[in-house]
Amino acid sequence: MTPRPLATPKALSRLVASTTLLGALVLAGCGTQDALVGLHPAPVEQTAAAPLDAEGATAVAARLLAAKDAAAAGDTKAARAARAEVLTGDALRVADAQAARTGAQPEGTELAPEAKPTIVAQSQGRQWPRAILASTLDESTNTQWLHAMISEKPDQPFRIASSVPMFGGAELPALGEQLAGAPLLDTAQKNGLETSPADAVKAYAAAIAQPKGKATDVVAADDQFATGLKTAAAAQATALGKLGTLAQSHDPRLDDAVTFRLADGGAVTFGLLKRTDTISVKPGAKELVLPADYAKLVGKKKVTKQLVLNNLEPVVMVLPKTGEGRVIGASDLLVSGRGR
Partner 1 sequence: MATIVKRVVGVLLALVGLALTAVGVWFATQLGTSGTAEFAVHPATTDPVVVGPDVLNRVDADVVVTATPTEGGTVWMALANPSDANAVVGDTKHVAVTGVSVSDWSLLTTTTGTGAAPELGAADLWRQQDDAKGPVTLTVQQSGAPETLVVKTDGGQLSSLTLKVTDKSWFVEAVVAALIGLFLLVAGVVLATSRRRHHHADVVVPPVPAAPAAPGTIDPDRPVGAEDGTEPTVPLQVPLDHTVVASPLEAPTAPDPADGPDRLDGHDVAADDVPDAPAAQTTDPHDPHDPEELTR
Applying CB under 8 A, the residues found at the interface with partner 1 are 1-2, 4-8, 10-11, 14-15, 18-19, 21-22, 25, 36-45, 47, 51-53, 56, 60, 126, 128, 151, 154-158
Closest CB 7 distance from partner 1, rounded Å: 6
Q: At 25, phi and psi to the nearest 5?
A: -65, -40
Distance CA 234, CA 214 (A): 17
Closest CB 255 distance from partner 1, rounded Å: 22
Residue 61 φ/ψ region, left for φ over 0, alpha for ψ in the -120 to 50 degree band, beta for the rest: alpha
Closest CB 12 distance from partner 1, rounded Å: 9
Closest CB 155 distance from partner 1, rounded Å: 4
Q: Is 78 exposed, middle or buried (0-12, 13-18, 19+ CB in 10 A)?
A: exposed
Kindly state the DSSP code that residue 41 receives in the 8-state scheme: P
Closest CB 47 distance from partner 1, rounded Å: 6
Nearer to partner 1, 143 or 151 (CB): 151
The DSSP bridge partners found for residue 273 are 252, 313
Nearer to partner 1, 20 or 227 (CB): 20
Nearer to partner 1, 13 or 322 (CB): 13
| Residue closest to 257 by CA, chosen among 200, 325, 320, 193 | 200
Closest CB 221 distance from partner 1, rounded Å: 37
Q: At what angle do helices 89-102 and 76-86 cross, to 10 degrees?
A: 160
Closest CB 100 distance from partner 1, rounded Å: 27
The DSSP bridge partners found for residue 145 are 136, 165
Distance CA 180, CA 120 (A): 12
Nearer to partner 1, 25 or 234 (CB): 25
Nearer to partner 1, 52 or 95 (CB): 52
Distance CA 236, CA 258 (A): 33
What does the DSSP assignment read for 225-262?
A: HHHHHHHHHHHHHHHHTTSEEEEEEEEEEEEEEEEEE-
Nearer to partner 1, 29 or 108 (CB): 29
- Give kind and range of the element (H or E) at residue 43: none
Nearer to partner 1, 40 or 77 (CB): 40
